[in-house]
Structure 1
């Protein structure tokens, strides 16, 4: 038999098996779908604002991660229930780099289609979470979905005064919000902090990473899952060191306070967590360890 083509070129990247993972939440099914990853060069230099490079390097080495770059995964979440198929965040849409954009292929592998999505729930408006709302030409990719957004997040990113005063480097982010949400204006719902989005989906205000960042507590019967969004980035850095301020957090002090509160809650109450930037399959439990926390990844199972 001929060997796979990728195996004959040692320098070429070859794909893994389809990136989806399922588990049960009571009587509902959660499907995590990987979008790929983005690469951050030189994570010891400026990635953590308030830590010495040597401390960041040690944290990376302790986690057996390279120190010359940091790959940051992206994973979206689907929740199937009696009310339809709910999608949390939409990924990069293949528009933020060649190493991401795998959601369409991985959705197909998981037996999911964009037309089936009845609701899209957004944690916050950073580009790696909302670019998948539309294709590169601005056409909506989810023709039947209502879009649910946190009111405070919407208010910030659509404020023309704030946008006009934003640093030049952020102007594109404000324009991107208008472009991504524009096609969905007639089916947009804004929610208050801690609102019930739908039965079994409750918003949890987790501001700091962005002004209106929201996590979501998913429940069915006695089963609970906390969908964190970007309460933390790579767990190898921010779980062990909840006081570290990553460059992506817009209000670092508030983001730290949020992290400590949420980590304490999910560790104390033993609530399973889904992390957008956790290594795939992007879920597990948070336990207290030393002055910080540690992720215990969910075990893989061949049956759901």
Structure 2
């Protein structure tokens, strides 16, 4: 039987934070007293990639207070100073949510989903931006999930429980899915963490094996589309890459939740990293690969348009958005 110690070993810092009562819910509400965040007016951006097209689709943004626990291993004053040096607010952070659509021939592959109508009022814009980009939910034939945190999977189902992309196969990483679907692990979880396990069951429950397809990290899951293990943020998170005619795009998922902080200081640990040390090693390894290969990169929480290049900067890295 799995006990609380097993859960902490498997869940790392995030589980410990739950037990300490400091974990911020995955579906965060906008911070009071700081005003509403600005929502991008044109929430899609298209980029050619050989014979493919990659489209960033913004789902919205959440403004959250910058508390001491947000960066778990650095003083708040140091975090604020780094934000101040980039002319960014120091009392709160704005966290955007951007999924990506790969258009390859007659394939329409969506990577991660945002919130649908399950999140704060400043989220849930993916479908409208998908329509503005020239597509509908019925055009999506495949949804690839990088990991099972709520802001990445909740957009699969509406609050009423209906599938948002009814014609799509849903592909999930085997290691990630096994962790969150483990009934014994859920039973051993502290009460504050049970909701995350239950939400995974709400989203994926009732899907048959013909619609819910598991894959091993490292596989080419579709022609020109492959995945790489990026464990640490969660037990089984993957990054996703697309390649066509020598051009490559790397979707980095939650490798860094706020690039202005965790790209520049890749050894810092965000509160959401479930295994901070593994996440740190993964962050440096993947950033180094992206820099060396000079590939176009995108991240779920990168500032919109969420496309750009990663460059070395001191002991860390810097995200340079596309113009």
* Same fold, judged at TM 0.5 (above): yes
Tell me which residue corresponds to 1:157. 180
1:257-272 pair list within 5 angstroms:
257-272=281-296
Structure 2 residue corresponding to 1:97, chosen from 120, 124, 128: 120
Relative CO higher for 1 or 2, CA cutoff 8 Å, sep ≥ 6? 2
CA pair 211-14 structure 1, distance change in 2 beyond 3 A = closer
Structure 2 residue corresponding to 1:131, chosen from 154, 160, 167: 154
* Per-residue Cα deviation, 1:174-216 (whole angstroms, up to 9, x for no partner): 1110111124334011001201111111110000000000001
CA pair 60-209 structure 1, distance change in 2 beyond 3 A = same
CA pair 58-244 structure 1, distance change in 2 beyond 3 A = same
Tell me which residue corresponds to 2:131. 108
Q: Distance in 2 between matches of 1:167 and 1:249?
A: 17
TM-score by length of 1: 0.92
Tell me which residue corresponds to 1:178. 201
Structure 2 residue corresponding to 1:250, chosen from 249, 256, 274: 274
Q: Distance in 2 between matches of 1:25 and 1:144?
A: 25
Tell me which residue corresponds to 1:8. none
Q: How big is the shift at 1:220?
A: 0.6
Q: Distance in 2 between matches of 1:202 and 1:268?
A: 19
Q: Secondary structure at the match of 2:240?
A: strand
Preserved CA contact (<8 Å) 1:44 1:56: no
Q: Distance in 2 between matches of 1:205 and 1:167?
A: 27
Preserved CA contact (<8 Å) 1:118 1:145: yes
In structure 1, runs of 5+ residues without a counterpart are: 1-10, 300-304
TM-score by length of 2: 0.86
* Per-residue Cα deviation, 1:87-143 (whole angstroms, up to 9, x for no partner): 000101131211111112111111110000000000000000000000001111111
Q: Distance in 1 between matches of 2:105 and 2:252?
A: 23
Tell me which residue corresponds to 1:296. 320
Q: How big is the shift at 1:75?
A: 0.3
Q: Distance in 1 between matches of 2:139 and 2:306?
A: 23
Q: Secondary structure at the match of 2:252?
A: strand
Tell me which residue corresponds to 1:55. 78
1:206-221 pair list within 5 angstroms:
206-221=230-245
The Cα RMSD (Å) is 1.4
In structure 2, runs of 5+ residues without a counterpart are: 1-34
CA pair 13-65 structure 1, distance change in 2 beyond 3 A = closer
Q: Distance in 1 between matches of 2:38 and 2:286?
A: 37
Aligned residues: 288
Q: How big is the shift at 1:234?
A: 1.1
Q: Distance in 1 between matches of 2:134 and 2:250?
A: 24
Tell me which residue corresponds to 1:32. 56
Preserved CA contact (<8 Å) 1:44 1:54: no
